[in-house]
Structure 1
Amino acid sequence: MRSMKALFIEAPFKAAILDVPYPTPGVGEVTIKVERAGICGTDVHIFKGEFLSSYPLIPGHEFSGVIHEIGPGVTAFNVGDRVTAEPNIFCGQCIYCLTNRGNHCDAWQATGVTQPGAMAEYVAVPAKNVFQIPDSMSFGVGAFIEPMACVVYAMNRLQLKPGDRTLLFGAGAMGQQLIQSLTHAGASELVVVDISSEKLALAKQWGATKTVMSNEADQHLGTQHYPRGFDVVVDATGIPAVIEQALQFLGPTGKYLQFGVTAQNSKITLSPFDLYQKDWTLIGSMAINHTFYPALQWVKNDRVQLEHLITKVIPLHEVPELLAAGAGPNHLKVQIQIA
């Protein structure tokens, strides 16, 4: 039996590189030889046992590579095609799929979340989820389309109005994509808060009008400076204490977007009177909902820049140690070079 190397999470906090069976493509599937795979905050939650996944699992839902083998019934691709893939697998038949809410599909599955993923030499995926990438696009950027598709879905949910005064908490890899997207969408003022001065400097370069260190947020963003608060507040940290702080700056009729992924059991305190009296709109944004193709077009046509957000590339055998220790505070996107 053919085998391959893969990151195998046997249980929370227990990960290793093992030899596992090669994923032969089934009907309607292709097997991709993985070149690059991104490490996402969701992967960290999976490693810690804080997400929807069960175990054992090969994680990895942000990836790119080359088609290695084609399963029965697949005619749209050829061996050797450079590709990336949408990880979410919708049934197409339930009430959510039939009403354009596929990310809440009754039979929802996802590569690297509920099914074997791309932190491996090979991954098998439905051909209908595969997208070709141009020769001019690096595999690193190709592995970035999935997180960009999450941002596109968030922007669809938010429906930012031109001129909205916007406050963003978190200038990591996802925050940096949101900064470019919010700027393109017409935010007038875009204030970004983070713990890293390096990330804030990058935020200023790519569209933030003002940056604030997180320990100075109350001092610089309070009512003495912003008596009416902000029209839009976005959290890209997934940290409950930050979320509670962020909500304090939301003005009347404001929209709050929860983009950052928290642990499943996280809780925050929210004043229902503020929610009522200030006419707030609270918005969640779960993964992707038919936004992979728009994200690919945005990136392919250089409307959003991603290459500079890849700040570290590591080999597969170093991933267990990184998951256990965590990435450095100034790292943005860490990717795995598989091939």
Structure 2
Amino acid sequence: MKAIVYTKPGGIKIKEVPKPKLSNYEVLLKIKAVGLCGTDLHIYKGKMDVKPPLIMGHEFSGIVVDKGPSVTNVKIGDAVVGEHVVTCKRCNYCKSGKPNLCAKAKVIGLHRPGALAEYLAIPADLVYKFPRRQINFEEAALIEPLSIAVYAVGQEPAELDKNVAVIGQGPIGLFLDQVLKTSGANVVGIDTLNHRLNFAKKKKWIDKTINPKTQSVAKIISHFAPDGVDETFEAVGIEATAQTAIDITRRDGHVYLLGVFESPGKLDLMKIVKKELNIHGSWTCAFAFQPAIDLVKNKKIDLKSLITHRYHYTQAEEAFKGAISYSQKRIKTVITF
């Protein structure tokens, strides 16, 4: 089969590789679409501790074309999406409802072959059927990043009428906007790219916009939330935006960190102490795929509008370079097979 293989920092090649073999509890997917994620771009740039060669890709959709003898939850021909964290199912975290924290977890596209290939073998309990009449394959590939937003927002029991800031209006941030609005929050979007802020505002996913390059974040927030926002979701992954989250959140408020941080950072820890802030890490997701699919089926979430650039797998190098450059008002890049 053909696969897009990471060979070195800044280097990928389309190679012929063996088709995956199945275990009793796995299914074989014919991959239809794969979204390029920030993690894929971090790997491509050589910013993550992974050794080439590696088939990346963990945001995917496909069709079941084969299955192991013990698989009963799907049949050949089903259109599915899949989770990307393969866990041990035996540790305390797996048993207590936090499989995303399993110490023995293997991430598809990071620790085991990913979806940027014609075929993918995956445990059957990680796949979910979706209705092709309502969701196409390109849109379905975005269920995974949507599930990350659903999981993060779900850690807070109620959002109705809360003032919430979302720092970073990339794909995860835009999904956070939508999930929060669906939950009844008042959302302020923060980003340095005006076209993303304007896009989210036009879609009515956010109520207010702030560009830190030209505006004072704290000053604008003080106009409608004098004590600070109730919650802040950080979806960038740099020291400055993490500190902004701490600065703009009210006393006893909640800060959720979703960004992929490439290096350690220095934060004002005393401010966290004095404000009694509740700081939460939010890592991938757990039990959020089906709720994410249901939100899309019920027309609560718009997936299609985020897909700005599409490439065939033979154009993989162009796709990666474009995704890194954020050129042409790019939001989400999808590769099809």
TM-score, structure 1 normalization: 0.91
Question: Deviations for 1:272-316, whole angstroms, at most 9, x for unmatched residues?
Answer: 221111111111100011211211111222221111111110111
CA distance in 1, matches of 2:85, 2:101: 10
AA partner of residue 262 (structure 1) = F
Higher mean C-alpha deviation, range 303-312 or range 64-73: 64-73
Aligned to 2:17, what secondary structure does the other structure show? strand
List gaps (5 residues or longer) in structure 1. Answer: none
Q: 1:276 aligns with which of 273, 277, 284?
A: 273
CA distance, structure 2, for counterparts of residue 185 and residue 139 of structure 1: 26
Instruction: Say if 2:246 and 2:271, in contact at 8 Å, map to a contact too.
Output: no
What SS class does the counterpart of residue 64 from structure 1 fall into?
Answer: strand
Instruction: Pick one of 2, 11, 18 that aligns with 1:14.
Output: 11
How far is the alpha carbon of 1:219 from its aligned partner? Answer: 6.0
In 2, the alpha carbon distance for the partners of 1:212 and 1:58 equals: 38
Letter in 1 for 2:139: V
Q: Which amino acid aligns with 2:59?
A: E
The corresponding residue for 2:181 is 183
More divergent stretch after superposition (192-201 vs 56-65) = 192-201
Deviations 1:115-138 (A, max 9, x none): 111111111111111111112110
Could you list the per-position Cα deviations for residues 143-190 of structure 1 after superposition, in whole angstroms to 9, with x for gaps in the alignment? 111111111110122445422211111112111111111112222x32
Q: Do the aligned partners of residues 52 and 126 (structure 1) sit closer, same or farther apart at CA in structure 2, a change above 3 Å counting?
A: farther
Measure how far apart 1:11 and its partner are: 3.4
Residue 128, structure 1, aligned to residue 146, structure 2: no
Q: CA deviation at 1:223?
A: 7.3
Residue 56 of structure 1 and its aligned partner are, at CA, apart by 2.3
Give the C-alpha shift of residue 30 in structure 1. 1.2
- State the distance in 1 between where 2:226 and 2:209 align: 18
Aligned 8 A contact 2:256 2:281 in 1: yes
- 1:165 counterpart letter in structure 2: N
Give the whole-Å Cα distance in 2 for the aligned partners of 1:229 and 1:297.
Answer: 33
1:203 correspondence with 2:188:
no
In the TM superposition, residue 74 of structure 1 has moved relative to its aligned partner by: 2.0
Over 3 Å counting, the alpha-carbon distance change for 1:91 and 1:50 in structure 2 is: same
Query: 2:76 maps to which residue?
Result: 79
8 Å CA contact 2:222–2:228 kept in 1: the answer is no
Structure 1 equivalent of residue 26 of structure 2: 29
Matched AA of 1:163: D
Distance 2:221 2:59 in 1: 40
Measure, in 2, the Cα distance between the counterparts of 1:289 and 1:250.
26
Q: Find the partner of 1:109 among 103, 106, 109.
A: 106
Letter in 2 for 1:240: E
Q: How far apart, CA to CA, are the structure 1 residues paired with 2:325 and 2:129?
A: 30
Structure 1 stretch displaced more, 60-69 or 197-206: 197-206
Corresponding residue for residue 255 of structure 2: 256
Partner of 1:65: 62
In the aligned structure 1, how far is the partner of 2:126 from the partner of 2:296?
18
Greater mean alpha carbon deviation, residues 274-283 or residues 162-171: 162-171
What is the rounded CA distance, in whole Å, between the counterparts of 1:144 and 1:28 in structure 2? 25
- Size of the aligned set, in residue pairs, is 332
Helix, strand or coil for the counterpart of 1:215?
coil
Given that residues 252 and 280 in structure 1 are in contact (C-alpha distance below 8 angstroms), is that contact kept between their aligned partners in structure 2?
A: yes
Q: State the superposition RMSD in angstroms.
A: 1.9
- Pair 1:95-2:108 in alignment: no
Quick check: 50-59 or 294-303, which moved more? 50-59
The one-letter amino acid paired with 1:312 is H
Q: Which amino acid aligns with 1:230?
A: V
State the identity as a percent: 33
- What is the rounded CA distance, in whole Å, between the counterparts of 1:47 and 1:173 in structure 2? 18
The question of 1:310 aligning with 2:317 is answered no
Aligned to 2:52: 55
Q: Distance in 2 between matches of 1:309 and 1:270?
A: 32
1:177 aligned counterpart, secondary structure: helix
Cα distance, 1:222 vs structure 2? 5.5
Deviation for aligned residue 1:95: 1.4
Deviation at 1:52, TM superposition (A): 5.6
Q: CA deviation at 1:92?
A: 1.0
- Structure 2: 5+ residue stretches without partners: none
TM-score (norm 2): 0.92
Q: Deviations over 1:207-235 (max 9, x none)?
A: 21111223124267357635422211221
Secondary structure at the aligned position of 1:248 is classed as: helix
Q: How does 1:120-269 map to 2 (within 5 A)?
A: 120-136=117-133, 137-187=135-185, 189-204=186-201, 205-218=203-216, 221=219, 225=223, 226-263=225-262, 266-269=263-266
**Structure 1 segments of 4+ aligned residues over 3 angstroms from their partners:** 51-55, 158-161, 219-227
Amino acid corresponding to residue 178 of structure 2 in structure 1: Q
